Structure 1
Amino acid sequence: MNERFDRRMVLGTALAAVLAGATLTLTTPAQAQLVRTDVNIGVRLEPPHLDPTGGAAAAIDEITYANIFEGLTRIDRNGEVGPWLAESWDVSEDGLTYTFRLRSGVTFHDGTEFDSADAKFALDRARGEFSTNAQKQLFAGIDTIEAVDPTTLKVTLTKPNGAFLFNLGWGDAAMVAEETAVSNTSKPIGTGPFKFVQWVQGDRIELAKNPEYWGEPATLDKATFKIIGDPAAELAALMAGDIDAFPNFQATENLPMIETDPRFTVAVGSTEGETILAMNNKKGPLADKRVRQAISHAVDRQAVIDGAMFGNGTPIGTHFAPHHPAYVDLTGTYPLDLDKAKALLAEAGYPDGFKATIKLPPPTYARRGGELIASDLKKIGVELVIVPLEWAQWLSEVFKGKDFDFTIVSHTEPMDINIYGRKDYYFQYDSTAFDEVMARLDTTADQEARYELLGQAQRIITEDAVNVYLFQLAKAGVWASGLKGMWVNAPIQANDLTGVYWE
């Protein structure tokens, strides 16, 4: 074959690819490589449904946040709050009234226009009497909502709330339309850069690029979230090339090996995930603070981190992220001390210990950690029966039904220490002192004063041994080396694909 014919072949191939809409990179005169515009993301848990405004499972936001649904404000990869569907806002001098200017030209995936009436509906629905929003408390301080005109929304609070704009950036505050809100659980309709395509139960959820997106369009044309529950299967899928990325890789014992493979990028970052041994504060022996303190003295936190997470995790002593400036290091409050633990149990009337159940959701940290903690507590006479639950069962029995003694879970919501003020929350803590601190926090805008109050709140729940604070969940991400734009840290529950592309 002569040189002239070779050149014509290459040019013809390039022209055909361009006409087909493909992005072409020529590596040699006789070789061409197409840049991919699809991605296969591996996720550990299948969400119970796909409406972020109607469920507590992090697995919902991990697929829908920023991809399908958007809010008035956005929490970015650095944990900072910025504009989203509200392009700007004004706050009254008394801190009570927020006037949002909404973006024009925004449409939902079904083609209907987004305006202030939709925003009012979404917020009223989230805070309404029959709301199923898992974070309904975020909206409790709203007094009135007024759709002034199609692009102006006025929200008035009952009292100033320094965290209000941050709260509106949660997935629980996503904007939904009245016409499609009910069906968002199975056929989500949002305003985001990706549209929902299909959900094959137990296997995958597929998204496609939204060609009518109001903002900067996504680079990817297609994204598939593959549900892979077994850590060993995660590794096999990664090595076989079936999965391009695991934003939260569970088989962390394999990270050293993967790091040596040039095909992959390994990025270990931080999350907002306080991993706790939660205790039912109103059930049996655990209703006694001395018993909870005994449990806290009996658990070897570092052994749990090493055994369940292969060393990936930061010990914590309270329900607060260590990377936050307001964090108070209380890890020394309950040092490992079996004699102290036994003495506290005896003082509480349980010299021989007691029997209880520990209900464990699917994540590896829970299943592995539960076995280690059961071994720890056996040393002080507390016999735990391990009950593995699937995610939907855990939400029904533990989170909603409060039918448990112990459980292990990571609370990945940002700045969520306020959950300890909810009397009906699953671990059923009730403290007047804590409530008073949080009430002052709600009306305090000065940053240093807020940090001081947050420190007081941390000390109260640690002193009361509400739960055993184990570790801050690490985010071990693994993805193909040519995939760019993945989040290293997780300041919010999200696998945001808006900036992801292949190089």
Structure 2
Amino acid sequence: MPRRTALAATTLLIAGTLALASCSGGGSAPATTSAGEPDPDASLTVGLVLEPTNLDIRRTSGAALEQILIDNVYEGLVTRTQENEIVASLASAFEVSDDGLTYTFTLSDGVTFHDGTPLTVEDVVTSLTQVKDDPEIVGNTEFAGVASITAADDSTVVITLTEPNQNFLFTLTGPAGLVFKTGDTTDFQTAANGTGPFTLERWNQGDSIQLVRNDAYWAEPAGVAEVVLQYIPDFTAGVNAALDGSLDVLTAVQPDLSAQLDEASGFTLTTGQTTDKGTLAFNNAVAPLDDARVREALRLAIDHEALVEAIGSGQTQYGPIPELDPGYEDLSDVAPYDPERAMELLEEAGADDLELTLTIPSFYGTTVPQVLVSDFDEIGVTLEVESVEFATWLQDVYTNHDYELSFVLHVEPRDVGNFADPTYYFGYDNPEVQDLHAQAQVAVDPDESAELLAEAARIVSEDHAADWLYTGATITAVGDGVSGFPVDSVNSRIDLAGVTVSSE
């Protein structure tokens, strides 16, 4: 594998990052295929699918940015593991008061930004206050219940809430919790200045992003000198790049292509758990999908077990909460495969000879739409598939809500709140769900919160606000000599600091 060598002398081009405003846990150990000693001067090349449109993680939503920038380039007071457990990061310690209103963080010592400026308590207070005050910053809505953010002393930050928020710490593990230098003049659209184990060296839009080890990092240094994140939106092309030695790791391997990447080809395959929700969105605000009978009929027409088998990985879901998130409940009883009942419902709704359009980002391939076309045809529904560029999907579907049906993989964990937001592109408006979600947020007891979320999720599923085709499983091909590459949740976050490459 020629890329598994010492840091190249030539400058590698870097790619633009695609903002996955769409819609990416488990407990597996990192993949280990190393047989030799780790080479601290090694370069690691990782194949990814989705590239962000810019690098401004504070003002651009999406898992494609979080996947590569959080924990690698930027850090917050806390972060989360592959298993979605919350742990300290820039904070050496933290505690939450018994009433759930006061969060106290003690800062780690010796932290500096990539430009050499020491991290101060003012940087933390200013960064988080900007999230609270600026509606344009990602996470502003989640900070609505923040009463104050103050510095108790030079190393202690205290955040006070107006009411308990069960998800507040989790919010701090995302873009809203990242810490930036006060008054930084960096152009965050194309550059970065964080505190993480890697610096952003170069970005060649449409191709790759180059990260270089931060030798002044305040904690354990990264295990490789350089990481090249190579964006390959075509799944077959990604496999070919791995096979020809261009990649050390390929993420998001299509199940039907995975057999090509085996031990004989120099790769080990890992299958990781995720919170990725293969979501068939219904536009609840437009006819005929504003009729719950039509939505239910479409769900009953889908053979979910057969669809998962066709995809080749993952598991059925049936509701808005995946198994790894709080509030999960098996909701398979809500929408069992029953095409005969589906046809009865369509007749009751006066929706015979129904014609619908499915808008789907082009990089998802044809398996899901082919299954849906076939299943819907069995109940007399004609489905036209409109495959579009992701930027078009973002504009037409996500922003303008101009669609009937859509498919996208919602990868963000704990995002059931989307169904409590009537302005979200689903167009789903149920005050009872909104109230239950609000109660779950302010519950101090996590078990009570999870029960409320489960109750809300059942209502959402019984309203047939969408169909959850499957929970995704991520297949990653890890090359010989690579150790420590994450297994789970890699669609939403890839912590690269612990990855090593052995010398050949």
**Fold conserved (TM > 0.5)?**
yes
Shift of 1:78: 2.4
Task: Decide whether the 8 Å contact of 1:262 with 1:481 is kept in 2.
Answer: no
Q: Give the match's secondary structure for 2:485.
A: coil
Residue 130 of structure 1: how far off its partner (Å): 3.2
Residue identity opposite 1:123 in structure 2: L
Contact 1:288–1:348 (8 Å) recurs in 2: yes
Which structure 2 residue ranges, 5 or more long, are not aligned?
1-5, 7-33
Q: Does 1:238 align with 2:242?
A: yes
User: Bigger shift: 434-443 or 209-218?
Assistant: 434-443
Give the match for residue 342 of structure 1: 343
Residues 237 and 160 of structure 1: CA distance in aligned 2, closer, same or farther (over 3 Å) = same
Distance 1:260 1:213 in 2: 35
Higher helix content, 1 or 2: 1
Give secondary structure in 1 for the equivalent of 2:275.
strand
Counterpart CA distance in 1 for 2:85 and 2:196 is 19
Which consecutive unaligned segments of at least 5 residues does structure 1 have?
1-16, 18-24
Query: Is the Cα contact below 8 Å between 2:41 and 2:225 reproduced in 1?
Result: no
Match of 2:195, SS state, is coil
**Structure 1 counterpart SS, 2:219:** coil
On the 8 A contact 2:279/2:409 being kept in 1, the answer is yes
Distance 1:26 1:281, change over 3 A: closer
Partners of 1:117 and 1:48 in 2: CA distance: 30
The answer for the alignment partner of 1:426 in structure 2 is: 425
Q: d(CA) in 1 for partners of 2:264 and 2:359?
A: 37
Which residue of 2 is the match for residue 496 of structure 1? Answer: 495
- Alignment RMSD: 2.5
C-alpha distance in 1, partners of 2:38/2:114? Answer: 33
| Counterparts of 2:361 and 2:151, CA distance in 1 | 42
Secondary structure in 2 matching 1:271: coil
Look up the SS of the partner of 2:218 in the other structure: coil
> Could you say which residue in structure 2 is the equivalent of 1:271?
274
Give a deviation string over 1:338-383, Cα, whole Å, max 9, x none. 2211221222221222x3322112443x643123213322333333
Residue 437 of structure 2 corresponds to which residue in structure 1?
438
Hey, what's the Cα distance between the residues in 2 that align with 1:235 and 1:83?
36
How far is the alpha carbon of 1:323 from its aligned partner? 3.9
Match of 2:357 in 1: 357
Partner letter of residue 286 of structure 1?
Answer: L
One-letter code aligned to 2:264: D
Residue of structure 1 equivalent to 2:299: 296
- Residue 486 of structure 2 aligns with an amino acid whose one-letter code is W
Q: Give secondary structure in 2 for the equivalent of 1:112.
A: coil
For 1:471, what is the secondary structure of its paired residue?
strand
Aligned to 2:10: none
Give the Å deviation of 1:465. Answer: 0.5
Please report how far the alpha carbon of residue 260 of structure 1 lies from its aligned counterpart in structure 2 after TM superposition.
4.4
TM-score (ref. length: structure 2): 0.87
**In structure 2, what is the equivalent of residue 480 of structure 1?**
479
Q: CA shift at 1:282, angstroms?
A: 0.6
Give the Å deviation of 1:108. 1.6
Instruction: Give CA-to-partner distance per residue, 1:443-490, whole Å, 9 cap, x none.
Output: 222233223222212211110111011111101010112100111111
Decide whether the 8 Å contact of 2:35 with 2:481 is kept in 1: no
Q: Does 1:333 align with 2:334?
A: yes
Instruction: Output the CA distance in 1 between the equivalents of 2:286 and 2:189.
Output: 33
CA pair 254-26 structure 1, distance change in 2 beyond 3 A? closer
Secondary structure (helix, strand or coil) at the match of 2:210 reads strand
Instruction: Tell me, yes or no, if structure 1 residue 125 matches structure 2 residue 124.
Output: no
Task: Find the residue that maps to 1:397 and give its secondary structure.
Answer: helix
Task: Give the structure 2 partner of residue 72 of structure 1.
Answer: 77
Instruction: After superposition, give the CA deviation of every residue in 1:102-122 in whole Å (9 maximum; x if it has no partner).
Output: 223222212223222222232
Matched residue SS, 2:385: strand
Shift of 1:61: 1.4
Q: Which amino acid aligns with 2:414?
A: M
Letter in 2 for 1:278: A
Quote how far apart the aligned CAs of 1:253 are.
1.3
Partner AA of 1:55 in structure 2: T
Equivalent position of 1:14 in the other structure: none
Work out the CA distance in 1 between the residues paired with 2:326 and 2:440.
16
Aligned partners of 2:325, 2:128: CA distance in 1, in Å?
28
Is 2:326 the partner of 1:322? Answer: no
CA contact (8 A) 1:74 1:84 kept: yes
CA distance in structure 1 between the partners assigned to 2:414 and 2:96 by the alignment: 22
Instruction: Note closer, same or farther for the CA distance 1:349–1:116 as it changes in structure 2 (3 Å cut).
Output: farther
Of 283, 286, 310 in structure 2, the residue corresponding to residue 283 of structure 1 is 286
Identity %: 32
Kept after mapping to 1: 8 A contact 2:38/2:500: no
Work out which of the two has the higher radius of gyration on C-alpha atoms and give 1 or 2: 1
AA in 1 matched with 2:247:
I
Residue type matched to 1:499 in 2? G
Q: 1:172 to 1:295 in 2, by over 3 A?
A: farther
Deviations 1:58-90 (A, max 9, x none): 211121121111111110122211111122123
1:53-202 maps to which residues of 2 (within 5 A)?
Answer: 53-133=58-138, 135-180=139-184, 183-202=187-206
Q: How many residues align?
A: 471
CA distance in 2, matches of 1:33, 1:470: 41
What is the aligned partner in structure 1 of residue 28 from structure 2? none
One-letter code aligned to 1:163: N
Relative to 1, partners in 2 of residues 1:62 and 1:274: Cα closer, same or farther, differing over 3 Å?
Answer: same
The CA deviation at 1:325 is 6.7
Deviation (angstroms), 1:26: 13
What are the Cα deviations for residues 1-28 of structure 1, in whole angstroms up to 9, with x where unaligned? Answer: xxxxxxxxxxxxxxxx9xxxxxxx999x
Structure 2 CA distance for partners of 1:179 and 1:403, relative to 1, 3 Å: farther
What amino acid is the match of 1:97? T
Letter in 2 for 1:314: Q
1:375-424: CA deviation from partner (whole Å, max 9, x where unpaired): 32233333333222222222222222212211111221122212211121
- The answer to whether structure 1 residue 384 and structure 2 residue 383 are counterparts is yes
Q: How far, CA to CA, are the matches of 2:404 and 2:460 in structure 1?
A: 18
For the 8 Å contact 1:280–1:426, the answer to whether it is kept is: yes
CA shift in 2, pair 1:89/1:181, >3 Å: farther
Match of 1:305 among 277, 301, 308: 308
Determine if contact 1:48/1:60 at 8 Å carries over to the other structure. Answer: no
Q: In 1, distance between residues paired with 2:398 and 2:89? A: 31
- Which one has more relative contact order, counting CA pairs under 8 Å at least 6 apart? 2
